[in-house]
Amino acid sequence: MAWFVLIASGMLEAVWASALAASQRFTRWRPTVLFLISMTVSMLGLAWAMRTLPTGTAYAVWVGIGATLTVLWGVFTKQERLTLARGMLLILLVGSVIGLKAVS
């Protein structure tokens, strides 16, 4: 159960990071509200998962999921380009997250 909550919290990290950018320095209220809610739930989920998972592993998995999904969202919305190097580094990041889970 802790892994499921951690994965969902990592996904919410990508939501709040994207909402933060869309809020344009908190001048747009809808992305600002989405940022506040998703960040709060994401942090609570991370804290809950860390009750049973090692702190370093939980944090690395949370950040890895959030960072990967945030980059992929940027590519999907055409705000970022996916180059060969970026793609390979994302694959390495995902592989590292899977590896951390496997050895925990």
Q: What is the pLDDT of residues 48-76, one digit of tens each?
A: 999 999 999 999 999 999 999 999 999 99
Cα separations in angstroms, 40 against 9, 65, 66, 86, 96? 10, 17, 14, 29, 26
pLDDT of residue 103: 85
**Whether the predicted model's global pTM rises above the 0.85 cut:** yes
Mean pLDDT over the full length of the chain: 95
Q: What is the pLDDT of residues 29-54, one digit of tens each?
A: 999 999 999 999 999 999 999 999 99
pLDDT at 102 over 90: no
- Domain of residue 42 covers 2-103
Given a contact cutoff of 8 angstroms between Cβ atoms, the answer to whether 12 and 61 are in contact is: no
Domain tally, the chain: 1
**What is the mean predicted confidence (pLDDT) over 83-100?**
93
pLDDT of residue 97: 87
